[in-house]
């Protein structure tokens, strides 16, 4: 029997959930949080219901405990949300827009019976202009959301209709913050930041914007002009971002009508040579990415933790275990997650969210056992509509997250899920972002162009030796430990080896790192991503339990292993060859 597990934050949830300002890199005064209790209805068709008989707590999906619903509705059914609101006096300046962090998958919005827009895609933020639809006094928002997992055209990640094993409960409807923003006349429409180790380039997306940018630096304020919507900031004696010193430059943009606050970091990613092997470098120095796979699922909120503090707890817990990297697996988080990683100094490997069909033997069994890994992807997933939907999602992900310094790596395809024409996908992503590492095919089904020799090993012999590209073990491990009272499914478990006690688990981890990973470091390994941060549903191979209440391994022992890894990596980089870093 499946168990209801509450995280500590979920157990004490009260008031308006997620009160945080939702867009840390593009901050304005004048916002109004619409999270909380909404009227809710489910219909068999698409016509608006006359009654909304239930209530749902936004921003939690209806499948989650925290939503107050706890059910997944049929694939042909429609979810309806209604919220009545009255704007605070003086709130509206020039325009009023509605922001929704994410809703899975197709959302239509009405304000006071006026249609204001549609968004397609379950992982990207959306904005609708409400200005012309607003009435004096009370207004009414109605949102219609349809999500059909019978179709694999739109990205869906690890959601399935029949959860089990490494596939999880589906998420539908709203799952991120809903909020209103008051915009001044001639508002700055957007902000894109691209930076290296010397200069940060700002682009507002509007060539008519003129003003100033004031940056807070260690040497005092620095003011530069904003001309034709762009600015270049080059601080003296730049303080470079790294996990050891995650320094963020705060700045403000002022125009005659608008004021926006944000931040950037200075850091540069390159590939170089050291110790006779290709290396991944941060700010000109080789770095070892010691990380964990992070699925971003929570026992009570599924896609959405009870509060942003849950993200910070996850990050700090992994740092306390010695890790410096999270591989955000097949999911795009709210921007607050990436801001916390920026601020706390945690590297992020960001996966694109897969679409396309999945075949168990083709995509999992044979490759896991070592077969078919050289299979060509030229004829895989040939439906053009599906391919375009993936490209659209990839472009939206880069546009939404590309200004965050913590993200050092994009993963395009994972283990063949939805994989097609990987060299073309690499070229397209490289056009969108030429500043980060790209892992085109993580795991298997080798494609063409990629920056990384990316391997997954759960079974069989480890044959790891760097060749012409940096070698990274992007999945391994998955050691299981069941913690009674903290299991979602006491009747079934999923993982790759089993321990009976925390001591046995620690011994298994010690063997895995000292007998498998450390020897590979001497052969050029540049990173290793352990599966995984937390238990997720049937999977009990997390370093913490699904409800985030129990840390399974010994933190001191884990930090000692991390120290050995970094020492071995430093030793492997001390060959006679200097580092010849080159840009991507």
Tell me the pLDDT tens digit for each residue of 209-250: 999 999 999 999 999 999 999 999 999 999 999 999 999 999
CB-based contacts of 567: which residues, under 8 Å, 6+ apart?
Answer: none
The pLDDT confidence band at residue 584, using thresholds 50, 70 and 90, is very low
**What is the location of CATH 2.60.120.260 in the chain?**
29-183
CATH topology of domain 269-572: TIM Barrel (3.20.20)
Question: Any idea which architecture 29-183 has in CATH?
Answer: Sandwich (2.60)
Of 190 and 584, which is predicted with more confidence? 190
Mean pLDDT, rounded, for 140-145: 99
User: Is residue 264 within 8 Å of 194, Cβ to Cβ?
Assistant: no
- How far separated are the first and last CA of the chain, in Å rounded? 50
State the pLDDT at residue 577. 39
State the pLDDT at residue 455. 94
User: Is residue 85 within 8 Å of 143, Cβ to Cβ?
Assistant: no
Coil, strand or helix: which one is 202? strand
State the pLDDT at residue 579. 41
The pLDDT confidence band at residue 582, using thresholds 50, 70 and 90, is very low
CA 552 vs. chain centroid, Å, equals 24
Mean pLDDT, rounded, for 62-85: 97
State the pLDDT at residue 513. 98
State the pLDDT at residue 578. 35
Of 573 and 581, which is predicted with more confidence? 573
**What is the location of CATH 3.20.20.80 in the chain?**
269-572
User: How confident is the prediction for the chain on average, in pLDDT?
Assistant: 95
State the pLDDT at residue 378. 72
Mean pLDDT, rounded, for 383-411: 97
State the pLDDT at residue 575. 61
* 428 has pLDDT over 70: yes
Radius of gyration of the chain (CA): 24
**Residues forming beta bridges with residue 96, ordered by sequence position:** 182
Coil, strand or helix: which one is 345? coil
Mean pLDDT, rounded, for 561-570: 97
State the pLDDT at residue 372. 60
Element (H, E) at 195: strand 192-195
User: Is residue 579 within 8 Å of 572, Cβ to Cβ?
Assistant: no
Tens digit of each residue's pLDDT (9 = 90 or more) over 360-382:
777 777 777 766 656 677 777 77
State the pLDDT at residue 371. 66
Closest CA to 481 of 440, 521, 535: 535
């Amino acid at each position: 029997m499946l168990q209801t597990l509450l995280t500590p934050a979920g157990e004490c949830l009260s008031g308006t959930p997620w009160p945080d300002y939702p867009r840390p890199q593009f901050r304005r005064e004048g916002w109004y949080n619409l999270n909380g209790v909404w009227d809710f209805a489910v219909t068999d068709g698409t016509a608006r219901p006359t009654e909304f008989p239930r209530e749902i707590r936004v921003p939690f999906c209806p499948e989650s405990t925290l939503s107050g619903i706890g059910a997944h509705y049929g694939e042909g059914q429609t979810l309806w949300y209604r919220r009545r609101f009255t704007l605070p006096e003086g709130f509206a300046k020039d325009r009023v827009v509605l922001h929704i962090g994410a809703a899975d998958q197709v959302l239509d919005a009405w304000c006071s019976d006026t249609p204001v827009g549609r968004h397609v895609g379950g992982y990207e933020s959306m904005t609708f202009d409400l200005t012309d639809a607003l009435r004096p006094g009370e207004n009414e928002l109605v949102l219609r959301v349809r999500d059909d997992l019978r179709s694999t055209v739109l990205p869906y990640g690890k959601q399935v209709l029949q959860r089990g094993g490494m596939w999880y409960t589906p998420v539908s409807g709203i799952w991120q913050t809903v909020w209103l923003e008051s915009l001044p006349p001639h508002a700055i429409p957007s902000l894109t930041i691209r930076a290296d180790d010397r200069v940060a380039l700002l682009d507002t997306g509007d060539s008519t914007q003129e003003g100033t940018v004031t940056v807070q630096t260690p040497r005092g304020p620095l003011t530069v002009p904003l001309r034709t919507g762009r600015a270049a900031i080059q601080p003296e004696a730049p303080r470079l971002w790294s996990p050891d010193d995650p320094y963020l430059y705060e700045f403000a943009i002022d125009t005659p009508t608008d004021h926006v606050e944000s931040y950037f970091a200075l850091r540069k990613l390159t590939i170089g040579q050291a110790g006779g092997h290709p290396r991944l470098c941060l700010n000109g120095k080789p770095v070892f990415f010691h990380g964990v796979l992070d699925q971003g699922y929570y026992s009570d909120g599924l896609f959405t933790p009870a509060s942003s503090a849950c993200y910070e707890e996850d990050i700090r817990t992994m740092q306390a275990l010695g890790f410096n990297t999270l591989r955000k697996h097949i999911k795009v988080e709210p921007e607050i997650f990436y801001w916390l990683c920026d601020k706390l100094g945690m590297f992020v490997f960001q996966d694109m969210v897969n679409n396309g069909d999945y075949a168990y033997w083709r995509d999992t069994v044979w490759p896991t056992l070592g077969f078919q890994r050289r299979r060509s992807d030229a004829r895989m997933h040939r439906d053009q509509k599906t391919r375009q939907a993936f490209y659209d999602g990839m472009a939206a992900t880069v546009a939404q997250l590309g200004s965050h310094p913590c993200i050092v790596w994009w993963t395009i395809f994972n283990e063949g899920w939805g994989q097609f024409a990987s060299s073309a996908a690499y070229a397209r992503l490289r056009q969108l972002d030429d500043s980060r590492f790209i892992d085109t095919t993580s795991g298997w089904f080798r494609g063409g162009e990629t920056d990384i020799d990316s391997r997954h090993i759960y079974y069989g012999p480890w044959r790891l030796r760097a060749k012409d590209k940096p070698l990274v073990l992007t999945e391994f491990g998955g050691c299981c430990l069941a913690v009674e009272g903290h299991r979602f499914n006491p009747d079934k478990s999923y993982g790759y080896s089993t321990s009976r006690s925390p001591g046995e688990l620690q011994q298994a981890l010690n063997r895995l790192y000292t007998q498998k990973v450390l020897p590979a470091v001497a052969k050029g390994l540049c990173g290793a991503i352990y599966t995984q941060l937390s238990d997720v549903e049937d999977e009990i191979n997390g370093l913490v339990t699904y409800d985030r209440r129990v840390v399974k391994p010994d933190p001191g022992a884990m930090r000692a292993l991390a120290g050995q890894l970094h020492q071995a990596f430093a030793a492997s980089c001390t060959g006679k060859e200097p580092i010849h870093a080159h840009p991507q």
